[in-house]
């Protein structure tokens, strides 16, 4: 057995020679891809499906992901007849991912000469991003939901992807926005806004289930950031001096790849849903802009609480509250200057910082009449960031809380699926909570189809 180690350094051989005669050689075994992980009502998982070499320590992790995916796809109440189709979905969820990580592991175990001979490179940042930027439960849950939706032919996909009709904010009084009558009305009674917002960390994969094809997160990791932002508008010219509130879920740090073959990307924030408490802006925003708007009752207020400014927002429908935002300890931000770093700035190891966000995306979705599952329109819209507003007042909260509640069909007949999706978002930490006030309201007229 010692002959196996004759090519090793003499210092290594001298140590091995002190071992007993029954020294063992631990073989590293590998296996080609199986055609599939499933057959009818039989499924393989773990090493039975995809044995791993030890070079990344991913064998146990991928076995756990297999088990989590199976648990999500076979919930209590799954019928015997459903099992083959569910297992095919399990294969779809796990086959490509497990084998890709398996291939990463093989590459990680090779030396530089072997990699050069195969024309490969070792990119551990790519491996880390792929290995750890995934949640098997959220991914499988999204796949199962899509499967169940596709099986129900009576469903009409009235997603918050835009339908409705009415002119208004981009042509106030039926006149061009540059008309002198409109300008004089806005000067006499300026349009105002007040925004209460909370930005928080949550599950990257949970948010990925809300993104249409063509979108991806720009930075690696299992966490991503989203915001719940509620704006109250007042003295709106196109509403004869009236106002309304809107509250949306914004997913930060995403990019959209244009389907032009050039891999050109635009970076920004994705608007998943926008609640409003007035029919007119909902209808015009859907028809003219394709925004994902839904109606609900919105109560936004700022008050004194134990000598401190506080703010709150509640979202409700038909008397059932399903969302709350609270900010406490509102105060002007610190004016202390940020000290300059000593010497030239050096970037730490790791992926480069993401590019700045250039604007906001949303998806226009219009179902085809009489043809469930088909669409008349399904495309991405992009609105560039507006110019900075002068004279804004900003108050930063010492503490912020965002909460959602899941309700039944009886309580929220047309919003229970939205409430469920919001409730499923875990909140792992508050990044920012603030109140912003200012004058002048934009009309989103620069929004364009991608």
CATH number at residue 308: 2.40.400.10
User: Does some domain include residue 252?
Assistant: yes
User: Does some domain include residue 101?
Assistant: yes
Query: Are 102 and 174 spatial neighbours (Cβ–Cβ below 8 Å)?
Result: no
Can you give the pLDDT at residue 160? 44
Greatest CA span in the chain, whole angstroms?
Answer: 100
Tokens (6 digits) for 322: 């399903």
How far, in Å, CA of 188 to CA of 166, rounded? 26
Of 91, 118, 151, the last residue of a domain is 151
CA-to-CA separations, 317 to 7, 131, 232, 327, 408, in angstroms, rounded: 76, 41, 18, 22, 12
Are residues 124 and 224 located together in one domain of the fold? no
Q: Look up the pTM and report it.
A: 0.78
Are residues 34 and 89 located together in one domain of the fold? yes
Can you give the pLDDT at residue 157? 44
Query: Are 398 and 284 spatial neighbours (Cβ–Cβ below 8 Å)?
Result: no
Phi and psi at residue 337, to the nearest 5°? -70, 145
Mention every residue, 6+ apart, whose C-beta is less than 8 A from residue 14. none
Can you give the pLDDT at residue 166? 35
Q: How far apart are the first and last CA of the chain?
A: 66
Can you give the pLDDT at residue 351? 65
Are residues 147 and 176 located together in one domain of the fold? no
Question: Which residues does residue 247 pair with via DSSP β-bridges, in sequence order?
Answer: 230, 275
Are residues 44 and 182 located together in one domain of the fold? no
Can you give the pLDDT at residue 148? 84
Are residues 322 and 377 located together in one domain of the fold? yes
How far, in Å, CA of 380 to CA of 373, rounded? 18
Are residues 102 and 217 located together in one domain of the fold? no
User: Does some domain include residue 218?
Assistant: yes
Alpha-carbon dihedral of residues 83, 85, 91, 94, nearest 10 degrees?
-80
Are residues 233 and 320 located together in one domain of the fold? yes
Can you give the pLDDT at residue 164? 32
User: Does some domain include residue 41?
Assistant: yes
The 8 Å CB, 24+ separation contacts for 417-422 are: 418/160, 418/273, 418/294, 419/322, 419/323, 421/210, 422/249, 422/322, 422/323
How far, in Å, CA of 443 to CA of 240, rounded? 15
Q: What is the 3-state secondary structure (H, E, C) of 117-147?
A: HHCCCCCHHHHHHHHHCCCHHHHHHHHHHHH
User: Does some domain include residue 73?
Assistant: yes
Are residues 80 and 217 located together in one domain of the fold? no
Are residues 325 and 195 located together in one domain of the fold? yes
User: Does some domain include residue 350?
Assistant: no
**Which domain range does residue 29 map to?**
2-151
User: Does some domain include residue 199?
Assistant: yes
Can you give the pLDDT at residue 340? 58
Domain count, the chain: 2
Are residues 186 and 140 located together in one domain of the fold? no
CA-to-CA separations, 207 to 22, 239, 360, 397, 425, in angstroms, rounded: 55, 34, 16, 25, 8
Of 117, 151, 185, the last residue of a domain is 151
User: Does some domain include residue 212?
Assistant: yes
> Going residue by residue through the chain (450 aa), what tens digit of pLDDT does each one get?
667 778 888 898 888 888 766 667 778 888 889 999 999 999 999 999 999 988 888 889 999 999 999 999 999 999 999 999 999 999 999 999 999 998 888 888 888 888 888 887 777 788 888 888 899 999 999 899 888 877 766 554 433 433 332 335 666 666 667 778 778 877 888 899 999 999 999 999 999 999 999 999 998 889 999 999 999 999 998 898 899 999 999 999 999 998 776 778 899 999 999 999 999 899 888 988 999 999 999 999 998 766 678 999 999 999 999 999 999 999 988 765 555 556 555 555 666 777 889 999 999 999 999 998 899 999 999 999 988 888 889 999 999 999 999 999 999 999 999 999 999 999 999 999 999 999 988 889 899 998
Of 151, 184, 202, the last residue of a domain is 151
């Amino acid at each position: 057995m010692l002959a196996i180690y004759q090519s090793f350094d003499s210092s290594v051989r001298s140590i091995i020679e002190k071992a007993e005669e029954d020294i063992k050689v631990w073989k590293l075994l590998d296996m080609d891809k199986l055609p599939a992980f499933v057959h009818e009502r039989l499924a393989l998982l773990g090493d039975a499906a995809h044995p791993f070499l030890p070079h990344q320590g991913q064998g146990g992790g991928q076995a756990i992901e297999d088990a989590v995916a199976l648990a999500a796809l076979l919930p209590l109440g799954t019928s015997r007849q459903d099992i083959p189709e569910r297992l095919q979905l399990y294969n779809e969820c796990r086959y490509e991912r497990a084998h890709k990580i398996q291939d990463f592991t093989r590459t990680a175990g090779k030396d530089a000469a072997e990699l050069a001979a195969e024309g490969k490179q070792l990119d551990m940042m790519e491996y880390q991003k792929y290995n750890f930027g995934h949640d098997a439960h959220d991914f499988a849950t999204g796949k199962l939901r899509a499967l169940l939706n596709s099986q129900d032919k009576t469903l009409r996909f009235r997603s918050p992807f835009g339908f409705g009709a009415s002119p208004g904010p981009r042509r106030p009084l039926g006149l061009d926005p540059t008309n002198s009558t409109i300008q004089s009305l806005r000067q006499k009674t300026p349009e105002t806004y007040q925004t209460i917002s909370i930005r928080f960390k949550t599950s990257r994969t949970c948010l990925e289930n809300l993104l249409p094809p063509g979108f991806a997160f720009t930075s690696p990791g299992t966490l991503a950031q989203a915001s719940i932002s509620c704006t109250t508008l007042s003295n709106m010219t196109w509403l004869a001096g009236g106002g309304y509130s809107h509250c949306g879920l914004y997913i930060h740090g995403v990019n959209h790849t244009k389907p032009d073959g050039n891999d050109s990307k635009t970076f920004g924030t994705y608007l998943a849903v926008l609640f409003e408490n007035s029919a007119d802006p909902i209808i015009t925003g859907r028809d003219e802009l394709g925004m994902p708007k839904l109606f609900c009752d919105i109560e936004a207020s700022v008050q004194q609480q134990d000598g401190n400014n506080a703010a709150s927002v509640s979202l409700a429908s038909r008397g059932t509250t399903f969302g709350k935002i609270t900010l406490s300890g509102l105060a002007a931000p610190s004016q202390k200057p940020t000290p300059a770093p000593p010497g030239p700035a050096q970037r730490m190891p790791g992926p480069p910082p993401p590019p700045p966000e250039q604007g906001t995306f949303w998806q226009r979705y219009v179902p085809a009449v009489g043809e469930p599952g088909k669409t008349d329109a399904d495309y991405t819209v992009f609105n560039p960031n507006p110019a900075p507003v002068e004279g804004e007042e900003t108050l930063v909260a010492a503490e912020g809380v965002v909460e959602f509640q899941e309700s039944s069909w009886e309580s929220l007949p047309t919003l229970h699926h939205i409430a469920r999706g919001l409730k499923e978002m875990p909140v792992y930490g508050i990044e920012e909570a603030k109140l912003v006030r200012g004058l002048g309201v934009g009309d989103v007229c620069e929004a364009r189809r991608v």
